[in-house]
Structure 1
Amino acid sequence: MPTIPGSRTLSGRVLIIFVAFLIAALALVGRLAYLQLIKAPEYASMAESSRTVNVTIPAKRGTIYDRNGNVLATSVDATTIYCDPTMVDDPREMADALAECLGGKSDDYLALITQDTTFVYVKRKADVNKAESLKEKGLSGLYFLPDSRRVYPYGSSAGQIVGASNIDDVGITGLELYYDDILSGVPGKMVYEQSATGIPIPNATVVERDAADGQDIIISIDIDMQIYMEERLSQGVADMGGSDGTAVLMDAATGEIYAIASTPYFNPGDLSEVEDGATSIKAITSGLEPGSIFKTVSATAILENGKMTPDTEVFCPAYLAVDEYYIEDMHERGDMTMTFRDIIRDSSNVGISLSVDEYLGYDKLYDKILEYGLHSATGVDYPGEEVGFLSDYSEWSMTQAYNISFGQGITCTPLQMTRFYGALRNDGVAVTPHFLVSLPQSGETPEYETEQIIQNTEAVPTMVDMLQTVVEEGTGVDAQMEGFTVVGKTGTAEFALETGGYSTTMSNRDFVGFLPNSTSSLVCYVGVDHVPVTGAVTPIFRDIMTFAVDQYRIAEQ
């Protein structure tokens, strides 16, 4: 058959074009398959995320109750108001409405709702009634979310104990911080979907996770006792001309803290103005030189050693010359012989120093200080507990040794000292001070450790008897209460200056004691710092304990 010229070349070209089209078609099909099957979910997710807004649903914090069921902190209904600026028809109209219903300046709201975004908080945790009046105006682009806010019914009373939480319902001080994991709960999550033009799609709001509310807690505080303590302490600080004061009332048998305070106070419901140091309880978070209330520590250690009785006599010169320093009593006197009971009754610095030196040894005093828990945390459930300062015995000079025996050159917290005196009320057993009593929803009741810190318990009633002499005849006579035996020890401590040395014009005063023959195991500490003139805290102690007697129907046995 004859061949048409050029036909082979034409067929080759057709074949090449066909193959090229086939490759292009396969590439297009492959691309479409890649986009449809592999990338489609990713693109869909991107498209969805571009038209969805995630909103956190706050969990309601648990309520804090006092030991009698009074509400100290709780969460009440509130409304969080937010805005999509792209959906606002008339920004000025909305700004004026916000100022009218919520308070504040219209221009501030205008700046807020004209931002280049699709989500902005207008007011978090707004009053429900104010939010409702705003909702009735039907302003486009304005949305409302159920929320809660923290309230403190007793204001500044027990404010340091309860503490505060921030706008995000996170505890930042006090028990709100310490028990934040229990109180806070778990936030939820809500998602709403909007169209390409920013209009919310009806029925497209989804709650992905409901909020789980926090648990309630019951604490040991008696709010009525707390209020009285705070008022009496403030008045005492003012009367004595001091800078600040501290008080503790704790059950020596259980460790439950019924009341505790340090001036100044603060209201956790209003954080706009807070004085320095007001948010923490200094009885827990600050160490101080305890002064002569520490003589009971030295005396107990001596009595445990068994080489001294209340009638043991010690020659006490007017002063002790040690290195380049002089040790002397707070009240001027001449050389004299004193019994051990006299030394404690009259609070003799010279007498307790010589007694430790001759009948115990300062190395053993150091060991007893550690054994009594006066250089370790008490374990109290409160943030920021201080353990105090105590240098190692190997570093003690003789002057420092003498000073430590009567409470200078060492720092302890008032709570540590309260715990030690509690052991004298509790047959040598020290308990863990605490606030948490129970978790009502779960029925859980926490248990707390106890420790036998005074090993020779025969020393306990002897020490208590000597402390009774302090109140009946010595420096603590103003602590006496009609119808009750009162025991305790006064303290007058110099305080260190930032520039070095000690103040010669002011001192810290304190007293700690209890009612040994009563139906109560309550121990009370009171201290006032930087007192410029003579004065005693014993009347403050007496008044607090008198209120407690009436409050808890305490009787002498």
Structure 2
Amino acid sequence: MKARIRNLTRWRVLWLTLGMAGFMAFLVGRLVVIQVADKSFLDNYEASFQVKHITIPAQRGEIIDRNGTVLAMDVPRDQVIAAPRYIHHPAQEAGVLAKYLPFKAKVLRRVLSNKSWYALLDNSVSPAVANKINRLQLTGIATVPVTGREYPNGTLASQVLGMVGSNGQGLAGIEYADNKLLSGTPGHWTVREDAYGNPMLQWQQAYTPPKPGDTVQLTIDANVEAQAQKWLKWGIKRAHAKNGTVIIMNVKTGGIVALANWPNYNPNNLATVTSENQSDFGVQYLFPPGSIFKPVTTAAALSLGLFTPNSLFYTDGYKIVDGVRINDWNPKGWGWITLTRGLEVSSDQVFMDVALKLGVSGLYQFVHAFGLDHAVNVGLPGSASPLWIPKSQVNPVDLATEGFGQGFATTAMEIIAADDAIANNGTLVQPHIVKDIISPSGKVTPTKVTVEGKPVTPQVALEIQHMMTLEATKGTGVPAQVPGYIIAGKTGTAQKIVNGHTSNSNFVASYLGYGPMPHPKFIMLVSINHPVGSLFYGDQVSAPVWKHIATYLFKYWNIKPYAGPDNGSKPGPIP
């Protein structure tokens, strides 16, 4: 009996030993599988469930005007978030939140009733509103500090500045064009979390602080911009027009002092933005320039030696070209007049004769020289490219009408840059709207003045300046005159192409001028689209707007009237 018990005990010990050995072999095998075969899976599992990668947004750089006035900046804001799964009375909480958020209660109730883990109710509210919401102690509602974009001056230069979307990305204007500079570099924080999702700071793996964006300083002067917007709106309302633009540029440097558009919008309230008021009519809108192109035609005529300022032309109100009658804006004509007088009174017939004498090659040579055959890169997005009939397809009728600014389309920025070469004694400079880029450390990178060419000699430029001065003092530009100052200018009334035909009722009325002479500090273009009613000529619609803004500029820059032989316009930069 005892032998049997001992034998049974031996077998039990043996089986127990074999079982433990087998179990240990299984554990070793599993460890091998886990540590070798499944290592990649487990690493990914750990990274996705235990490691949190947090992106820390960088503070967006400011946009300031030439004097340091802040036009766009980041300000403390808060997000309002919800955890609908924990909200037991969504209708009640929605009704309370509707008093503080720009949404109706029924919209909020729909969001709070979906039983999700997370919902963003508002991307940007002020800290004051966030504090009020926090004091309510609503179940499942919280606020998270963030930063938001603010435009302190509302609609001022709205198309120039643009706007920023909810993700901090620039959507238009400078905000879009210089987004990379403004947005800076986001920071990163990689941490481990416990089972409840709380960060375990002792296991912090990596932290990279965000780098703030650069400050973009514009050539715009906020005070001048405000005046340009004010008087542009006045002029558009007065003429019952559709829209318009005012561009003011430093003659010597090409710096844009003002770029005003109407209608405009408030970038603080994206709900007010439409496709119409978002358009920058100065750089994105193509139109036939009309007679403000005539100084370029004149430059070609004088430069090629085909005419002089005293060359005579006979005008009787129309011209037959290739069997087609083309009317002058004045159906009676002026009889025999000089080229100078033709520019003064803006005779279309004179410039038909000049263009036909120039020929296609002669005219297009100077279209290219003045930079009118390509888009101008002023530093804003969406610059439109001009539309010209290809040289090989231009017929005599096309050429005659192009001579006085019809039959092609350009932007306001392109035509002011071209005419500025005449005001600048024959030097064509590239317009620009960014003055400096200022890094967070204070390093300043200025925009260099870019000379694009010299389309005419200084002598030819001075001759045309004299002719344009007579236009402003004795011709169609008299309504733009500012008492006590001498300016040079040119009116323009262009017929738009509607449904493939030249319209007799849809116009673009413009006035382009610079001054004070003989050393102009600024050049300004006022262009008003589709005036309706009895006022539609450039001298009626746009010249008065030009006069009001110029009157402000002379006073603002302390340019004294008739101060000695230089007429108060001694050479020097705009303050």
Q: Normalising by the residue count of structure 1, what TM-score does the alignment of the two structures yield? A: 0.88
Q: Does residue 1:494 correspond to 2:495, yes or no?
A: yes
Unpaired runs of 5+ residues, structure 1, are 1-14
| Bigger mean CA offset, 298-307 vs 32-41 | 32-41
Unpaired runs of 5+ residues, structure 2, are 1-13, 561-566, 569-575
Aligned counterpart, 2:554? 549
RMSD: 3.1
**Aligned ranges for residues 528-539 of structure 1 at < 5 Å?**
528-532=528-532, 533-534=534-535, 535=537, 536=540, 537-539=542-544
- Code of the residue aligned with 1:547 in structure 2: it is Y
Q: Does residue 1:260 correspond to 2:259, yes or no?
A: yes
Q: Does residue 1:483 correspond to 2:484, yes or no?
A: yes
Q: Structure 1 549/202 Cα, relative in aligned 2: closer, same or farther at 3 Å?
A: same
Whole-Å Cα distance in 2 between the matches of residues 140 and 355 of structure 1? 80
- Code of the residue aligned with 1:437 in structure 2: it is K
Aligned residue pair count: 540
Whole-Å Cα distance in 1 between the matches of residues 316 and 471 of structure 2? 21
Aligned counterpart, 2:527? 527
**Aligned ranges for residues 371-390 of structure 1 at < 5 Å?**
371-390=369-388
Aligned counterpart, 1:8? none
- Code of the residue aligned with 2:384 in structure 1: it is E
Deviations 1:245-290 (A, max 9, x none): 2211000101111111222111111121234421132111111111
Determine helix, strand or coil for the equivalent of 1:495.
strand
Would the aligned equivalents of 1:484 and 1:518 in 2 still touch at CA under 8 Å? no
- Code of the residue aligned with 1:261 in structure 2: it is A
**Aligned ranges for residues 55-454 of structure 1 at < 5 Å?**
56-84=55-83, 98-99=97-98, 102=101, 104=103, 108-109=107-108, 111-113=110-112, 115=114, 117-136=116-135, 144-189=143-188, 196=195, 198=196, 200=198, 208-333=207-332, 336-358=335-357, 360-441=358-439, 442-454=443-455
Would the aligned equivalents of 2:74 and 2:148 in 1 still touch at CA under 8 Å? yes
Aligned counterpart, 2:515? 515
Whole-Å Cα distance in 1 between the matches of residues 412 and 102 of structure 2? 45
Whole-Å Cα distance in 2 between the matches of residues 52 and 137 of structure 1? 34
Whole-Å Cα distance in 2 between the matches of residues 96 and 203 of structure 1? 39
Determine helix, strand or coil for the equivalent of 1:548.
helix
**Aligned ranges for residues 4-43 of structure 1 at < 5 Å?**
26=25, 28-36=27-35, 39=38, 42-43=41-42
The alpha-carbon deviation at position 72 of structure 1 amounts to: 0.7
Whole-Å Cα distance in 2 between the matches of residues 363 and 246 of structure 1? 32
| Bigger mean CA offset, 470-479 vs 314-323 | 314-323
Aligned counterpart, 2:9? none
The alpha-carbon deviation at position 141 of structure 1 amounts to: 5.4
The alpha-carbon deviation at position 430 of structure 1 amounts to: 1.3
**Fraction of identical pairs, as percent:** 25
Q: Normalising by the residue count of structure 2, what TM-score does the alignment of the two structures yield? A: 0.85
Deviations 1:205-257 (A, max 9, x none): 96844332211111111111111111111111121222222211000101111
- Code of the residue aligned with 1:77 in structure 2: it is P
Would the aligned equivalents of 1:284 and 1:385 in 2 still touch at CA under 8 Å? yes
Determine helix, strand or coil for the equivalent of 1:459.
helix
Whole-Å Cα distance in 2 between the matches of residues 208 and 138 of structure 1? 33
The alpha-carbon deviation at position 337 of structure 1 amounts to: 2.0
Would the aligned equivalents of 1:323 and 1:399 in 2 still touch at CA under 8 Å? yes
Q: Structure 1 335/253 Cα, relative in aligned 2: closer, same or farther at 3 Å?
A: closer
The alpha-carbon deviation at position 299 of structure 1 amounts to: 0.6
Would the aligned equivalents of 1:190 and 1:205 in 2 still touch at CA under 8 Å? no
Would the aligned equivalents of 2:425 and 2:458 in 1 still touch at CA under 8 Å? yes
Whole-Å Cα distance in 2 between the matches of residues 356 and 48 of structure 1? 73
Q: Structure 1 452/349 Cα, relative in aligned 2: closer, same or farther at 3 Å?
A: same
The alpha-carbon deviation at position 116 of structure 1 amounts to: 5.5
| Bigger mean CA offset, 34-43 vs 245-254 | 34-43
The alpha-carbon deviation at position 103 of structure 1 amounts to: 6.2
| Bigger mean CA offset, 48-57 vs 221-230 | 48-57
Would the aligned equivalents of 1:155 and 1:269 in 2 still touch at CA under 8 Å? yes
Q: Structure 1 478/107 Cα, relative in aligned 2: closer, same or farther at 3 Å?
A: closer
Would the aligned equivalents of 1:423 and 1:454 in 2 still touch at CA under 8 Å? yes
Q: Structure 1 204/85 Cα, relative in aligned 2: closer, same or farther at 3 Å?
A: farther
The alpha-carbon deviation at position 508 of structure 1 amounts to: 1.9
Q: Structure 1 146/325 Cα, relative in aligned 2: closer, same or farther at 3 Å?
A: same
Whole-Å Cα distance in 2 between the matches of residues 506 and 99 of structure 1? 47
Would the aligned equivalents of 2:359 and 2:399 in 1 still touch at CA under 8 Å? no
Whole-Å Cα distance in 2 between the matches of residues 550 and 238 of structure 1? 25
